[in-house]
Amino acid sequence: RADVKMENKQLRMWDLKLSDAGIYTCKSSSHEVRISLHIFKLTVSLDGHFLQNEVPELILMQNSSSPLPNLKITLFNSNNNKVIPELQSKTHQKYIVNLKKLEATDSGTWLCQVRSDSPLINQNISFVIKVLGFQNPDLERKYATVDSTVILSWHLNSQKIKWKEGFTGQLNWKQQEGANAHELLDFKVTAQGELHETKKSSNFLFEIPERNAEIIIEVKLPKVYFNHSGQYQCQLEYQGRHVQSKIELVVMKVSANPDGPLSRGANMTLTCQVSGPLPPNAYLRWERVNGTTMDVKNSRQREIKLEVNISAAGLWSCHLIEDNDRKISLHYHVEEAPVWISYVIIGASVAGSLLVFALGCLCIISGISWQRRMQRRKRMAQARQYLLENKTCQCQQ
């Protein structure tokens, strides 16, 4: 692992080891030159291949013939931002530090600066970190309306970091926390970066869109139902380790009671409902298009159902607003009943009232007639009784 160039008196060494540290002497006639060789070794855990949210461990070791100096270590990430590590243990020969939890954007070449005042040391050691994970937020929330089409996507950064080793994963869905999970699809990525997907569920209506150049796990719901809401979790597995990313799908629906045309002078209740809890900065709003401020009603914080009683026909809209931004809107057209229907309804009401009045009068008349007949029968019975009593008296005389 060494050779000597005699013309310029150079000793060239390669594949250095910690044991190569020491004092090297060059003698020529009466001249003697002594050089102290100080060697550093930086080791990155898991060979520099990490999943998202994992914590790398760095081990820096040094060796020299002289007393080992006290080192100052400074780290810079792939974006050339200074990183403050957590020191786990320290001796003069071995330094062990932990980094923060990694994100997908941390992939790249890092720099470890090693400094010492005595002896004077100023050494930069570069190392590569590859982080396999999702470019999605940690917990993404997506909104959809009933009967709409929605695509849920998870972007992987495997091609960006040129990840050669294959990994596998799966996509699960459950309606709420603690419920049973349903596996929708399995996938795997070969060492050549090719994605292979297998549909697992036959009861859940979804499609797998065609892939583009990037590695994207996608699920397409061509027609969203209210019970399609819930947590969709995509999970990666590599060498027995896991990382996952969730998308929370919140679905909105609207309804009316009664659901027919709105007659003049009548009322109707419009209901807007979402399938899951809303964040504190989100709320529901009912409003009539081209209406007034009197036609606007907002939900309270964390309220997932909003009702509004209306007496005016027209186009009513329910909005889901988050951070003053309309995420989704669903419209309900309230039709006004034709005038003749109103007249028919009024006529039917009047006719019904008259019919009830007539029936009441008939019942009263019938009752009076029945009472008179009963009284007449009673008087006739009394008369017959009187006559019988009179005949009996005449016979006795």
> What are the domain boundaries of the chain?
2-132, 140-251, 258-334
339: pLDDT strictly greater than 60: no
- Tokens encoding 266: 């009548």
Q: CA-to-CA distance for 333 and 337, rounded, in angstroms?
A: 12
Least confident of 246-255, 268-277, 324-333, 367-376: 367-376
| Model confidence pLDDT, tens digit, residues 66-118 | 788 899 999 999 999 999 888 888 888 999 999 999 998 899 999 999 999 88
> pLDDT confidence of 152, banded at 50, 70, 90?
very high
Strand order in the sheet with 57-63: 39-44, 57-63, 94-98, 86-90
> pLDDT confidence of 340, banded at 50, 70, 90?
very low
Query: Mean of the per-residue pLDDT values for the chain?
Result: 87
CATH number of the domain located at residue range(s) 140-251 in this protein: 2.60.40.10
Residue 46: closest CA among 151, 157, 132: 132
341: pLDDT strictly greater than 50: no
Least confident of 135-144, 190-199, 241-250, 318-327: 190-199
pTM of the model: 0.75
Residue 302: closest CA among 278, 274, 328, 336: 278
For residue 72, the cross-strand partners are: 115
Q: Could you tell me which CATH class the domain 2-132 is placed in?
A: mainly beta
What is the reported pLDDT for 354? 75
| Model confidence pLDDT, tens digit, residues 165-207 | 889 999 999 988 778 889 999 999 887 778 889 999 877 889 9
Residue 274: closest CA among 329, 223, 315, 219: 329
| 140-251 and 258-334 in the same fold | yes
CB 121 within 8 A of CB 114: yes
157: pLDDT strictly greater than 60: yes
* Percent of residues, the chain, with pLDDT higher than 70: 93
Please, which residues have CB within 8 angstroms of residue 301's CB and are 6 or more apart in sequence?
Answer: 280, 283
Rg (CA), the chain: 44
Residue 324: closest CA among 298, 304, 306: 298
Question: Which architecture does CATH list for 258-334?
Answer: Sandwich (2.60)
What is the reported pLDDT for 395? 53
Q: CA-to-CA distance for 119 and 296, rounded, in angstroms?
A: 75
Q: CA-to-CA distance for 245 and 219, rounded, in angstroms?
A: 14
* Percent of residues, the chain, with pLDDT higher than 90: 50
Q: CA-to-CA distance for 343 and 264, rounded, in angstroms?
A: 10
What is the reported pLDDT for 391? 60
141: pLDDT strictly greater than 60: yes
Residue 167: closest CA among 200, 138, 134: 134
What is the reported pLDDT for 214? 77
